[in-house]
């Protein structure tokens, strides 16, 4: 098979294995595994960023940033339903059904590739800008089941985003710090430390601190608290 090699493999890399896989859409991929020595020097964290999971924006940062996630699955949902309905009405074993199955698989693959590309770009931007990223240690599967937000959580891709972010940071000697999921990031005022029990209700998106009078965006305030807790864990 012809191959386009876009970068040279160093002479000290040792080839360990080649795994060939086929996607449901019929494409073949070869995953090549090399072994090499790589001594990463850990950096002393100077710049910190806290990220709070957000259903619609992917996350909100302690610096006020939000990536405006395009929600690729929701955009393609009508097309997917239409093509899957056509597939379900076709005779099993027929050539037309096999063609339609590949068409549906390609649509799913397109959505997955768009999401993966977006998450790679976001994680790279953050890695380039910060030495330490602090996040909540969330169980996304449990969250999807408990809140009945299955499709939205899966479309969001937070788990994949965290894994991308983790390996990119580690490659540069930087750190990803996980803050306990029971840490009261949303309830605590990031300015004075006052705890507002009203924010247990997820419908409360903004609130004013009765102690210091600071106006808070729920998610940005949580991200600041996550960053501060992450800084405390690193210094400890």
Catalytic residue among 131, 136, 155, 229: 136
**In a 3-state reduction of DSSP, which class is residue 24?**
coil
Question: Is 198 designated active site?
Answer: no
| DSSP 8-state symbol, 131 | S
Instruction: Say how far apart CA 139 and CA 159 lie, in whole Å.
Output: 9
227: part of which helix (H) or strand (E)? helix 218-235
Structure tokens at 216: 């808070």
Which candidate in 52, 83, 131, 229 is catalytic? 52
Is the CB of residue 153 less than 8 Å from the CB of residue 54? no
The sign of the CA dihedral 12, 17, 23, 28 is positive
CA distance 65 to 167: 22
Q: Which residues are CB-neighbours of 116 under 8 A, at least 6 positions away?
A: 157, 160
Is there a catalytic annotation at residue 52? yes
In terms of DSSP H, where are the helices of 30-157? 72-88, 95-129, 140-147, 150-156
**Among 83, 131, 219, 229, the one annotated catalytic:** 219
Q: Report, as residue numbers or ranges, the catalytic residues.
A: 52, 136, 219
């Amino acid at each position: 098979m012809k191959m386009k090699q876009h970068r040279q493999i160093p002479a000290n890399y040792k080839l360990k294995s080649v795994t060939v896989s086929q996607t449901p859409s019929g494409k073949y991929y070869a995953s090549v595994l090399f072994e090499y020595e790589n001594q990463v020097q850990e950096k002393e964290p100077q710049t910190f960023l806290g990220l709070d999971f957000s259903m619609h924006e992917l996350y909100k940062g302690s610096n006020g940033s939000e990536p405006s996630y395009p929600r690729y699955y929701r955009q393609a949902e009508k097309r997917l339903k239409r093509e899957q309905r056509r597939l379900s009405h076709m005779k099993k074993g027929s050539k037309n059904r096999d063609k339609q199955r590949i068409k549906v698989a390609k649509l799913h693959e397109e959505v997955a590739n768009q999401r993966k590309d977006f998450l790679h770009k976001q994680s790279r931007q953050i890695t380039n800008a910060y030495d330490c990223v602090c996040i909540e240690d969330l169980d996304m599967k449990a969250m999807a089941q408990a809140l009945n937000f299955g499709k939205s959580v899966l479309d969001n891709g937070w788990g994949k985003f965290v894994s991308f972010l983790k390996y990119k940071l580690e490659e540069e000697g930087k750190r990803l710090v996980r803050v306990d999921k029971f840490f009261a990031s949303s309830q605590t005022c990031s300015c004075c430390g006052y705890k507002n029990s009203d924010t247990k209700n997820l419908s409360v998106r903004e609130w004013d601190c009765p102690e210091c009078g600071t106006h808070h965006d729920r998610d940005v305030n949580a991200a600041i608290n996550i960053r501060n807790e992450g800084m405390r864990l690193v210094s400890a």
